[in-house]
Amino acid sequence: MSSSEPNTRGPSAPAAVPTTTPTSGSASASSTRTSTSGSASSTPTSGSASSTPTSGSASSTPTSGSGSASASASASPALDTLLTVRSVDLLKSRDGPNRREHHTDSYLSDKLIVRRGQTFQMWIELSRPFKRGSDNLQLQLSSVVTTGIRISVPLVDVLEDNAWEMKIVEQKDKRIRVSVNTLSSASIGRYMITVVTFSPKGKLLFPCAPNDLCVLFNPWCEDDPVYLDNEAERKEYVLNSMGRIYYGTEQQIGARTWNYAQFEQDVLEACLFLMARGRVAMTEWRDPVIVSRMISALVNSNDDRGVLMGNWSDSYEGGTTPTAWSGSGDILKQYYKSSGKPVKFAQCWVYAGVTASVLRCLGIPTRCVTNFSSAHDTDLSLTTDIYIDDKLELIKDKTDDSVWNFHVWNESWMTRPDLPVGYGGWQVVDATPQEPSQGSYRCGPTPVSAVRNGQVDLKFDTPFVFAEVNSDRIYWQKKPDGSFSQVSVEKNTIGQRISTKAVGSEERMDITHLYKYPEGSEEERIAVERASRFGSKPTLYPSATDNDVSIEIVMEGAGPRIGGDAKLSIVLKNKSSKQRTASMLYEVLVMYYTGVLKTTVKKDRINVDLKPLETKTIPWTLLYKEYMNHLVDQGALMLTVTGRVNPTKQILATQFNFRLRTPDLIITPLGDAVVGKELTVKITFQNPLSHVLRNVLFHIEGLGMQSVRKVPNGDVEKLATVTLMEKFVPTVSGSQKLLASMDCRLLTQVHGFADIVVKAK
């Protein structure tokens, strides 16, 4: 539809004409006079200078006798000079100029969705031609979710930047097309539009309901704090509805495709519903710093009945296993349609996926970021503290800090006018509930550049994020008097291979350099020391000591697969010219990916003799039968090795996290994909375990589907292969993705995807 032609066939709001108040349910849009109680004229009320239709009315009622036309039959000639609105066309179709120019044509919504700081156009049909000079128009915008925001948009001859104004750009008899300029700092959200007409005979109001307006942040507008100057990045971080989320360990990085679904039907409504539940006035919705911080609290349900309920236990009864989710759409729709009942269950990548969906939907550039070997500092020391006894065994009830195999959070792009210059750009936003921040479970926005420089005095939550990526792991040994002394420091184990999806491709991009300087460099050490001064142990760093034996745990290739034996190597290097003897204790524990330990699988001691300058490799194997009955979610294990070197009494200590890799779902389209034509897709899975998998459920989404398809499969015999033949009818042409994941209590993180090019009919 051309912007110069009104949509006369589409739904339009009724005309505002001077009549008496119609009875409820009236749908008349003509100027025929109606009456109630036998009266042929309306009775004006004192003091009112405007006319407002009642609910369900198709006409307006003049309520002032001053300066307005009488509604009696004897005053009918005055109707020729009173300016009324017959209809309004907001040009809101998805393929129309407003939605295309505002990059909102992908939203499956019948509302007018615009980005702030940019003009949009609308047609207004009047009862007579608009007379410049004697007539005037105004728009009134009022917030839908809360009271208090009312915006007046005046009619001007020339539009100025960064102001609420409108200008007539075309007039055809009784119809006028106006261009409306929006403020780049306007509060986002839904607004009701009312057209106000002024003529020599009076003023009339014409509410445009249900044709309300939705205003979003605008990364294409230079005056908007979320402005991003790279078009490829805008397409990736705002418009791309598919992403990649990384998991595993730094040496065994797994990736899964996530459907953000930010443009699906009801998702925008769900996001605005979520915003309305926050404890922040709509007047503050103009600030992406405040909005992103609010969303980080609202996506978890810990203290405000937000979207997702976390669960890090072994039981997911009454909800969905976190690894079974492969997209945000079902989660947000379920939350919205249940009027705000938290959805069960989530872990960090689900929180991050949903947070990215909400913020992208609202117009804030956002990406998912995974930090491997991610520390959880519980005492604000900005170090990861591990306590061992005089026998070199871990003191589990004192070691409160933990290291997650991986942790997923978000980064959002925005300026930070609330901070010194130089701290805008990517900000960490983390909805996973770990520690309260200012009384609520939330984290961020934290400037990544402040984390890199150790400037943990800058808001928000910078000390916590710094410890996640760059804390030293310090080993403390209990002395006979009950106190603890520092016996070993690992300075380069926390915060490894920080990863996000690359722009415009499916590749992993390493962004560790954005969070910290190269490990061991002078700049990195300065950042650590600067940060530690703000921690709870500001003087803990002793002077360095000479160490002549090093220890390292090495894994070859991509690492062990679940169902097989796990094989690693312990490498000792004697850097001295003298013989050394090491007495070591190793312990392998099953743990949750968060670093919470479940149980010890195997423990033993090793004695090693090292010749001068010798490097010795000790093979280490964990048999499948040793771990098969102990695994928890995602097959994570941790090998801890501690030891003492004689005669120097040097303490050796290291930890190594690894996972047992799971098989992929293999997705194969059988034939060409064509819009409107049935397509058969084969999905194959092989059980790698010598166990029967019970109650297996497959989740399938993407390929333009508006909901997740769930396929119950029952039990899968040990080492058996399952093949599903699923049929789809594509509705949209172009490059699409089909995602599948498996929900099974015994085997998690099983998923797959296929790129499918759908041809036009």
In the numeric block, which tokens belong to residue 682?
A: 């084969």
Which one from 102, 103, 376, 407 is the annotated catalytic residue? 407
HSE-CB at 147 with a 13 A cutoff on CA atoms is 0
Any binding-site annotation on 470?
A: yes
CB 277 within 8 A of CB 294: no
Residue 472 among known ligand-binding residues:
yes
* Alpha-helical regions (H) of 437-567: 448-453, 462-470, 512-515, 522-532
Catalytic pick from 214, 221, 271, 348? 348
Question: Any catalytic annotation for residue 430?
Answer: yes
Cβ burial of 262 (10 Å; 0-12, 13-18, 19+) is buried
At 466, is the secondary structure helix, strand, or coil? helix
What is the length of the chain? Answer: 761
Strands of 128-266, DSSP E: 136-143, 150-154, 165-172, 175-181, 189-199, 202-207, 213-216, 242-249, 252-259
Beta strands, E only, 80-173: 85-89, 112-115, 119-126, 136-143, 150-154, 165-172
Measured distance CA(22)–CA(414) in Å, rounded: 50
Catalytic residue among 89, 377, 385, 430: 430
Q: Which residues pair with 668 in a beta bridge?
A: 682
SS3 state of residue 538: coil
Query: First CA to last CA across the chain, in angstroms?
Result: 22
Distances (CA, A) of 484 to 474, 479, 648: 12, 6, 20
Residues facing 679 on adjacent strands: 728
348 belongs to the catalytic site: yes
Strand partners, 603: 587
Tell me the C-alpha distance between 474 and 492, whole Å.
11
DSSP 634: G
Among left, alpha and beta (phi > 0; psi -120 to 50; other), residue 439 is left
Q: Which residues are catalytic?
A: 348, 407, 430
Residue positions forming the annotated binding site for Ca(2+): 470, 472, 519, 524
Q: Detail the residues annotated as belonging to a binding site.
A: 470, 472, 519, 524
